[in-house]
Amino acid sequence: MRIEEVDFHYLSMPVVRNIGDGSQDALLVQVTMDDGTVGFGECEAAPLVSIAAWCCPMSHSACKPLKSTVLGYEINSAEDIRRLTFEVRRNSFDLLQTDHTLSGIDMALWDALGKKTGRPAWSLLGYRQCFAKTAYASQLVGETPQETFEEAKKAREGGFKATKFGWGPFGQGTVEDDVAHLEAAREGLGDDRVLMIDAGTIWHEDIAAARKRIDALKKCNALWLEEPFHCGALAEYAELSGDGVPLAAGEGSHNPSLAKQMMDFGKVKYIQIDAGRIGGLTSAYEVAEYARRKGVVYVNHTFTTYLALSASLQPFAGMESSYWCEYPVESTELAQTLTTKPIRPDGDGRIQISSEPGLGMEVDFGTVRRFERKVQIDIDNNIIWKSK
Amino acid sequence: MRIEEVDFHYLSMPVVRNIGDGSQDALLVQVTMDDGTVGFGECEAAPLVSIAAWCCPMSHSACKPLKSTVLGYEINSAEDIRRLTFEVRRNSFDLLQTDHTLSGIDMALWDALGKKTGRPAWSLLGYRQCFAKTAYASQLVGETPQETFEEAKKAREGGFKATKFGWGPFGQGTVEDDVAHLEAAREGLGDDRVLMIDAGTIWHEDIAAARKRIDALKKCNALWLEEPFHCGALAEYAELSGDGVPLAAGEGSHNPSLAKQMMDFGKVKYIQIDAGRIGGLTSAYEVAEYARRKGVVYVNHTFTTYLALSASLQPFAGMESSYWCEYPVESTELAQTLTTKPIRPDGDGRIQISSEPGLGMEVDFGTVRRFERKVQIDIDNNIIWKSK
C-alpha cells in the first residue's frame, strides 16, 4: 500500500498556560494509505513548526520538506518503514525540525501497517510477546511542600507503586526548599512506594548545584535523578553519575545517536525516550535494543495522550527487564479524551499493553473537532498548507 | 537599547534545484532596536520553518516561540547577547527548530551592537586583533572526472591556495569512480595547492566504505576528509580517525555541546561551524574557544552569502592558528548580490577580515525586493505572521 495523504490536526486547549504541562496541545498525524487503511500518530512537538517542516519549499538537496519523501511511498513491511525513516533523514538533514515531524508520521505508519496485517506494532517491531509495565505517576512538584505532600498521598491512594515529581519550583529556590519538597514527597508516598525526581534540566551544567541535593535524594531513597543538566552536557552527567544516585535522561534526544551518546558518554542508568520526538517507533526501538545490550533500563517519556502513551510502550513492550512506564496523571481534558478509551493501571498499578492491531487506540473525532486549530500557510499568495 | 522588531526576509531563487547548493535560498534577519539601530543576520536553515519557530503559539513553558523571549530584550553589551541566547534556549528547548532561528537573530544583534558602539563583532566577542584567513574554494565534485579536473584548474587559475571538492556524485558510485575524481582534482590543482575532500555524510555509519577511499585520499595528499558519516556517528568518526587522514566535521552542530562532542568523542582535527545553524556568533565563539584549548583547528562552514561569510569569520577572527576559511565560489546570484559589496580573496588567496562596525556589510535592498517570497501564516483566521 502507498501513502496517499498525511493530515496534521493541530489541537490545543483554549488557554495554554506558562507551565511545564506538555499536554496543553497536541499534533495528531493521520496517514491514509491508497487502500483506505488509516493510521494515527502524534508529534510531541510545536505543532505549527512541525507542519511547516512537512510542507515548506525545498531549500536544497539535503533540506527538503518531509512530504517530498513521504507521499507516495510504498509501505508493506516493517523494513519499508525503516527505509523511509532513513530516507527522510537523508533528504531533510539540514531541516532541524525534521525529527519531530517524522515522529508522528512514523508512528502512524506502524499503526496503519498493524491495522493492515492485524498485528500489534510491538509484534511488527520484532517482539514475540509483551510484558506489563509498572506505572509511575508523573506529577508536577507542588507550589509548596504541603501541596507536594498532598499530591504524593493522592498518588499513593490512586494505587500507584511509584511516583515521579518534577518541574514546578524544584531547583529554582534554595537547597532547603528542595529538601522540603523531597521530604514531603517521601512522606506522602510512604516508605513502600518508589519515588523518582525530575530536575527538568534546571542546573544546566552546574554540577555543584546538583551535588547539593544528592544527600537529600539518597535520604528519600530516590530511584533516579532525572535531567539534572541540559541534554548536551554529557561530561557533567558522567561526573555526577559517580555520586551514587542513578541518573535518568534522554527525552530531548531527537535521533537515536543522541540517546546512545547519553548512555555511552553520559553514563545514565535509565534512558528515557519520547517516541514523539526521537523519530517515532523505528528510532525508539533502535534505542531500546541498544539499551538492552548496554544494560541500561529503557523508560518511555510520555506526558500527553493515551495515543502517545500506547505508542511509547511499543518500542520496549517485549523487554522484560525494562519494567517502568511513565504515566501522566495530570493531563488536560484534550489529552484525556483524544482517544475513545483511556489506558489505566490495573489493580497492581501496572499498565497492560494492548494486543490490538497497530497502536490499539481509536481517535475520538468529537475531541478533534472541539480542540482543533485551523492553520493556513501561504507563500506568494499560494496556499501551501490548509487544515481541512 | 531594546529589541523592538525582528523581520525575516525569505529570499529564494525563482527555481530551486535538487542539488547540494545551499545558496539557492536565504533567510535574512533584520533586527531593529528602539533607538533606530539596525542589525542583519542570516539563518542557514529552512526559511518557512524558521519563521514558524519565531511566531508559533506557545505549547508549554519549555516550548515557546522565540519572539516571546527576544522582543523587548535589553541589549547594551556582549554579556546581554550571551544571556539572551541562554534564555532563548531555556524557554524553547522542546522546539527543535529553535537553534536555527536563533542563529540569524544572534548574528543580527552582534551586528547591531557593533554599529551602536563602532566596533567590529570580533572585537565585541573578545579579540584584540584579527588575522587574515587563507581561503579555500568550495566546489561541487563534477559529474565526470573531466569536469572535476576543469573545476580544479579554474580554482588554481583563480588564485586559490586550496580547494575543497565534495558532494555531487562523490561516494555514490564505485571506489574507482571516486579515485578518478580524486586524481582529477589533484591533477587540476597541481601539487603545490592544498586539496580537501567533503564526503557529505554519504557513508552514513559505514566505516568499511569510507576506508576503501583512504589510500586514494592519502595518495592525492588530501588535507582532510570531511563528513564521511552523519553527525551523530561519533564512534565511527573516532575509529576512522586512526587511519591517517585527519577528519573534519561539525557543520550539522546546532548547539555548542554537539560540536564539543564531535571533538571530544569523534576525534576530529578540524571543527567546522556554520554560525547560521549553531546559534549565531555567541555559540560559534564558544566552540572556537573550546577548540583552541583542545588543539583543534576551527574552520567556518559557509556556502551562501557574503553576509553569512563575514559573520562566520568573526568567531575565530582573532585565532591565528585557525587559518583556513571556507569560501563559496559557485553561489547563486541571490547570494552574490545580497550585500552591496562582495568579500574577495586578496592576491595571496587570503580573506581580510573587516574592521568596520558589526559585521561590516551592507544589505542591498534591491536584491531583497527582487528575490523575496511573501509568507503569511494564519491560525483560526488570525494572522500570526505576514511578510511586510
Reported as a single tens digit per residue, the pLDDT across B243-263 is: 999 999 999 999 999 999 999
Contact B94 A63 (CB under 8 A): no
Contact B257 A374 (CB under 8 A): no
* B18 interfacial to chain A (CB closer than 8 Å): yes
Nearest chain A residue to B54 by CA distance is A49
Q: Picking from A155-169, A255-269, B183-197, which range would have the lowest pLDDT averaged per residue?
A: A155-169
The pLDDT value recorded for residue B288 is 98
Average pLDDT over residues A120-140: 96
What residues contact residue B63 under an 8 Å CB cut-off, 6+ apart? A22, A45, A46, B92, B93, B94, B95
Nearest to B49 among A22, A49, A261 (CB): A49
What is the nearest CA distance from A115 to chain B, expressed in angstroms?
31
Counting residues of chain A whose pLDDT is more than 90, the rounded percentage is 95
The pLDDT value recorded for residue A140 is 87
Instruction: Answer yes or no: is pLDDT of B330 > 90.
Output: no
Instruction: Answer yes or no: is pLDDT of A138 > 90.
Output: no
Size of interface A-B (CB pairs under 8 A): 194
Average pLDDT over residues B324-346: 94
> Residue B292: which pLDDT band, with cuts at 50, 70 and 90?
very high
* B383 interfacial to chain A (CB closer than 8 Å): no
Nearest to B52 among A52, A60, A61 (CB): A52
* Sequence-separated contacts (24+) of B177-181 with Cβ below 8 Å: B178/B213, B178/B216, B179/B213, B179/B216, B180/B145, B181/B141, B181/B142, B181/B145, B181/B148
Nearest chain A residue to B91 by CA distance is A18
Instruction: Answer yes or no: is pLDDT of B28 > 90.
Output: yes
CA distance A256 to A283: 6
Give the strand pairing for A25-33 and A375-379.
Answer: unpaired
Instruction: Answer yes or no: is pLDDT of B148 > 90.
Output: yes
Average pLDDT over residues A191-219: 96
Query: Grid coordinates representing B266?
Result: 569523534
Q: Are A268 and A262 in contact (CB under 8 A)?
A: yes
> Cβ atoms within 10 A of the Cβ of B58, count?
20
Burial of B329 by CB count in 10 Å (0-12 exposed, 13-18 middle, 19+ buried)? Answer: middle
Task: Give the ipTM.
Answer: 0.96
Residues in chain B closer than 8 A to A372 (CB atoms)? none
Nearest to A378 among B47, B90, B376 (CB): B376
> Residue B1: which pLDDT band, with cuts at 50, 70 and 90?
very high
Contact A257 B234 (CB under 8 A): yes
- Taking only the tens place, the pLDDT of each residue in B202-224 is 999 999 999 999 999 999 999 99
Average pLDDT over residues B25-54: 98
Residues in chain A closer than 8 A to B45 (CB atoms)? 59, 63, 94-96
Helix residue spans in chain A (DSSP H): 47-55, 67-70, 78-91, 98-117, 121-125, 145-157, 175-189, 207-211, 214-219, 234-240, 256-264, 281-294, 306-313, 333-337, 365-371
The pLDDT value recorded for residue B20 is 84
- Taking only the tens place, the pLDDT of each residue in B82-128 is 999 999 999 999 999 999 999 999 999 999 999 999 999 999 999 99
CA distance A116 to B219: 54
> Residue A330: which pLDDT band, with cuts at 50, 70 and 90?
confident
What is the nearest CA distance from A380 to chain B, expressed in angstroms?
5
The pLDDT value recorded for residue A49 is 98
Average pLDDT along chain B: 96
Task: List the one residue out of B26, B8, B151 whose CA is nearest residue A63.
Answer: B26
Q: Are B370 and B376 in contact (CB under 8 A)?
A: no
What is the nearest CA distance from A41 to chain B, expressed in angstroms?
18
Secondary structure of residue B283 in the 3-state scheme: helix
Task: List the one residue out of A308, A359, A313 whose CA is nearest residue A120.
Answer: A359
The pLDDT value recorded for residue A366 is 98
What residues contact residue A6 under an 8 Å CB cut-off, 6+ apart? A29, A30, A31, A32, A54, A67, A70, A71, A105, A108
Residue B350 φ then ψ, to 5°: -110, 150
Counting residues of chain B whose pLDDT is more than 90, the rounded percentage is 95
- Taking only the tens place, the pLDDT of each residue in A14-68 is 999 999 889 999 999 999 999 999 999 999 999 999 999 999 999 999 999 999 9
- Taking only the tens place, the pLDDT of each residue in B152-163 is 999 999 889 999
Nearest chain A residue to B303 by CA distance is A60
* B304 interfacial to chain A (CB closer than 8 Å): no
* A58 interfacial to chain B (CB closer than 8 Å): yes
Secondary structure of residue A80 in the 3-state scheme: helix
Q: What is the pTM of this model?
A: 0.96
Average pLDDT over residues A299-316: 96
Position A5, amino acid: E
